[in-house]
Structure 1
Amino acid sequence: MFTIIRTLLNYTLFTLALILFSFLEASSTHIRAGDITMRRVGNNVLQYEISVYLYRDTEGIPAPNGEINFGTGDSVIVSPDDLGKINEGTTEILLYQTVYTFPSSGWYNVSFSQGNRNEGILNMDNSVGTNFFIESKFWINPLLGLNSSPALLIPPIDEAVVGQRYIHNPGAFDAQGDSMAYHLIRSKQARNFEVDNYRFPHDPNENWTQETEDGVRPGLFYMDEITGDLVWDAPSIPGEYNVAFIVEEFRDGTLIGVVNRDMQIIVVESDNERPELLIPNDTCIVVGETLIDTIAGIDPDEDFIKLSLETIIPPNEEPIFESLNLQPPNGYEEGQFTWTPSCESVRERPYEFTFKVKDRPTDNASLVDLKTWRVRVVAPSPEGLNLELNEDLAQVTLTWSDYTCANAQSMRIYRKKGSFDFDPICETGIPAYTGYQMVGEVPIGETTFIDDNLERGTNYCYRIYAVFPNPKGGESLSSSEVCVFVPDLFYMTNVSVDETSTSDGEITVRWTTPDPALSSTYSSLSFDLYRTQENDLENTVLVKENASETDTTFQDLGLNTTNEKYFYQVILKGDGKEITQSYLSSQVRLEATPKQQSIELNWEADVPWNITSEYKHYIYRKKEAEEDETYVLIDSVATATNGLQYIDYGQAPFILEELVKYKYKVKTLGSYGVTHIREPLENWSQEVVAELLDIIPPCPPILSLDKLNCDVLAQLSMNMQFGECPSENYTNKLRWVDNTDESCTELPSSYNIYFSPRIANEKGAFTLIASTDDHHFYDTDLFSAAGCYAVTAVDLSGNESDFSNIECQDNCPYIEFPNAFSPNGDGINDTFTPMKCPRFVESITFSVFNRWGQIIYEGNENPQIHWEGHDNNGNAVSPGVYFYEARVRFFRLEEKHELDIYKGWIQILSEEIRQTP
Structure 2
Amino acid sequence: MRFLYILGFLGLFFCAVLKPTASRATHVRAGEITTKRISQTSLTYRITFTAYFDEVKGKPAADQAENYTFCFGDGTTADVRRSGRTYINGRTSSVNSYTVIHTYPGPGTYTIGVTVPNRNADTKNLPPAATSDQIRFFVSTTIYINAALLTNSTPVMLNPPLDSGRVGQKFCHNPAAFDADGDSLAYRLSVPQTSLTDNGCVGRAIPSYQDPTRFGSVREDGGTPASFSINPKTGELCWDSPGEIGQFNFAFIVEEWRNGVLIGEITRDMQIIVVDNRNLRPIIQPIPDLCVEAGALITQPITATDPDGQRVIIAGFGGVFNIGADRQPLPANELIPPAYARLINGDIIQNQPATATFSWQTSCNQIRQAPYDVTFKVTDVPTRPTPALTSFQTFRIQIVGPSIKNLTARPTATANGRAIQLSWSPYSCGNPGTFITIYRKEGCEDRPVPPCTTGVPPGYTRIAQVPVTATTYTDTSSLRRGVAYAYRLVAVYPDVNGGSNGGVSLASNQACLNLPLLAPVITQVTVDSTREVNGQITVRWTRPIGLNPGDLGGPYQYRLQRATGLTGTDFTPLATINTTLNPTAPDTLFVDRGTSTSALNTTANPYRYRLEFFYTDAATQQLTRLDVTEAASSVRLSATPANRQVTLAWQANVPWSNDARVHDVYRSRSGPNGPFNKIREVTVQTQPYSFTDDGSDTFTADGNTSRVLSADSSYCYRVMTRGQYTDTQLARLGVLLN
Shorter chain as denominator, the TM-score bin is 0.5 to 0.7
**Which residue does the alignment assign to 1:284?**
291
- Equivalent of 2:204, from 157, 171, 193? 193
Paired position in structure 2 for 1:719: none
User: What is the CA distance between 1:37 and its match in structure 2?
Assistant: 0.7
Residue 402 (structure 2) pairs with residue 376 (structure 1): no
Q: Does 1:425 align with 2:446?
A: no
2:245 to 230, 238, 243: 238
2:411 is matched with which residue? 389
> Which of 629, 635, 646 is the equivalent residue of 1:580?
629
Deviation at 1:424, TM superposition (A): 5.1
CA distance in 1, matches of 2:299, 2:145: 40
Task: Decide whether the 8 Å contact of 1:80 with 1:96 is kept in 2.
Answer: yes
The 1:483/1:247 distance shift into structure 2, 3 A limit, reads same
- What corresponds to 2:360 in structure 1? 339
2:420 and 2:126 map into 1 onto residues whose CA distance is 72
State the distance in 1 between where 2:393 and 2:107 align.
38
Q: Deviations over 1:97-145 (max 9, x none)?
A: 2222223332221111111011111111331110111111122335433
Residue 370 of structure 2 corresponds to residue 365 of structure 1:
no
Map of 1:884 onto structure 2: none
The partner residue of 2:467 within 438, 443, 448 is: 443
**Contact 2:314/2:346 (<8 A) preserved:** no
- Among 351, 360, 377, the residue aligned to 1:356: 377
Letter matched to residue 62 of structure 1: A
* Paired residue type of 2:507: S
- The SS at the match of 1:62 is helix
Q: Shift in Å at residue 73 of structure 1?
A: 2.8
> What's the secondary structure of 1:78's corresponding residue?
strand
Aligned equivalent of 1:409, options 427, 434, 455: 434
Aligned-partner residue type, residue 482 of structure 1: A
Q: Unaligned stretches of 5+ in structure 1?
A: 1-15, 493-512, 533-537, 539-548, 550-569, 584-607, 610-670, 679-917
TM-score when normalising by structure 1 = 0.51
Deviation, 1:319, is 0.8
Distance 1:141 1:579 in 2: 51
2:212 is paired with a residue whose SS is coil
Instruction: Kindly report structure 1 stretches of 4+ aligned residues shifted beyond 4 Å.
Output: 16-22, 324-328, 488-492, 513-519, 524-532, 570-575
Look up the match of 2:502: 473
Letter in 1 for 2:150: G
Secondary structure in 1 matching 2:292: strand
1:162 counterpart = 2:211? no
| Aligned residue pairs, count | 518
Contact 2:285 2:303 in 1 (8 A): yes
Letter in 2 for 1:71: G
Greater relative contact order (CA < 8 Å, ≥ 6 in sequence): 2
**Alignment partners' CA distance in 2, 1:278 and 1:174:** 26
Which residue of structure 2 aligns with residue 83 of structure 1?
A: 85
* Aligned mate of 1:270, from 266, 269, 277: 277
Shift of the 430–408 alpha-carbon distance from structure 1 to 2, 3 Å rule, reads farther
CA RMSD between the two structures: 4.0
The correspondence for 2:141, drawn from 136, 139, 143, is 136
Match of 1:460 among 461, 477, 485: 485
With over 3 angstroms needed to count, the CA separation of the structure-2 counterparts of 1:269 and 1:327, relative to structure 1, is closer
2:102 maps to 1:100: yes
- Indicate how the Cα distance of structure 1 residues 574 and 490 shifts in structure 2: closer, same or farther if over 3 A, else same: closer
Q: Hey, what's the Cα distance between the residues in 2 that align with 1:121 and 1:326?
A: 31
> What's the offset of the Cα at 1:352?
0.6
Change (3 A) 1:573 1:73: closer
Q: Please, which of 456, 474, 482 is the counterpart of residue 511 of structure 2?
A: 482
Q: Which amino acid aligns with 1:425?
A: P
Tell me the amino acid that sits aligned with residue 358 of structure 1: T
Q: Give the AA of the match of 1:475.
A: V
Using the size of structure 2 for normalisation, the TM-score is 0.63
Q: Structure 1 residue 530: deviation in Å?
A: 6.2
Q: 1:154-176 deviations in whole A, cap 9, x for unaligned?
A: 10111111111111111111111
In 2, distance between residues paired with 1:78 and 1:518?
Answer: 80
Q: Given that residues 301 and 331 in structure 1 are in contact (C-alpha distance below 8 angstroms), is that contact kept between their aligned partners in structure 2?
A: no
Find the aligned partners of 2:179 and 2:379 in 1 and give their Cα distance: 26
Q: CA deviation at 1:281?
A: 1.3
Measure the CA separation in 2 of the matches of 1:182 and 1:26.
Answer: 33
The CA deviation at 1:472 is: 3.6
Cα distance change, pair 468–525 in 1 and its aligned pair in 2 (3 A): closer
Answer whether contact 2:564 2:608 (CA < 8 A) is retained.
Answer: yes
Residue 582 of structure 1: how far off its partner (Å) = 7.3
Q: Deviation per CA, 1:522-547, whole angstroms, max 9, x where unpaired?
A: 9x999999699xxxxx9xxxxxxxxx
Change (3 A) 1:388 1:304: same
Contact kept, 8 Å, 2:315 with 2:346, in 1: the verdict is no
Match of 1:41 among 38, 43, 49: 38
Shift in alpha-carbon separation, 1:389–1:113, aligned structure 2, 3 A: same
* Matching residue within 307, 311, 319 for 2:341: 319
CA deviation after TM superposition for structure 1 residue 88, in Å: 2.8
- The superposition leaves residues 478-511 of structure 1 with CA deviations (integer Å, 9 ceiling, x where unpaired) of 112212112456799xxxxxxxxxxxxxxxxxxx
Alignment check: 8 A CA contact 1:176 1:471 kept: no
SS in 2 for 1:429: coil
Is this contact kept in 1: 2:378–2:391, CA < 8 A?
Answer: yes
1:121 pairs with 2:120 = no
How far apart, in 1, do the equivalents of 2:346 and 2:103 lie? 48
- Corresponding residue of 2:618: none
Shift of 1:74: 2.3
Distance 1:99 1:181 in 2: 27
Does the 8 A contact of 1:360 with 1:366 survive in 2? yes
Cα gap change, 1:530/1:274 in structure 2, threshold over 3 Å: closer, same or farther?
farther
Quick one: which of 149, 153, 156 aligns to 2:158?
153
Q: Contact 2:367–2:502 at 8 Å: present in 1 too?
A: yes
Shift of 1:385: 2.2
The worse-fitting range, judged by mean Cα deviation, of 75-84 and 183-192 is 75-84
Q: Give unpaired runs (5+ residues) of structure 2.
A: 1-12, 196-201, 323-331, 333-337, 524-538, 546-556, 570-588, 590-606, 613-626, 633-654, 657-724, 733-738
Q: Distance in 2 between matches of 1:84 and 1:574?
A: 83
SS in 2 for 1:177: coil
Going from structure 1 to structure 2, the CA distance change for 1:235 and 1:482 (only over 3 Å counts) comes to: same
Alpha-carbon distance change, 117 to 418 in structure 1, aligned in 2, over 3 angstroms: same
The offset of 1:369, in angstroms, is 0.8
Q: 1:517 to 1:358 in 2, by over 3 A?
A: same
* CA–CA distance in structure 1, aligned partners of residues 21 and 380 of structure 2: 36
CA distance 1:17–1:124, shift in 2 (3 Å): farther
- How has the CA–CA distance of structure 1 residues 269 and 528 changed in structure 2, closer, same or farther, with 3 Å as cutoff? farther
Quick check: 1:32–1:264 contact (8 Å CA) kept in 2?
yes
The alignment status of 1:249 with 2:253, answered yes or no, reads no
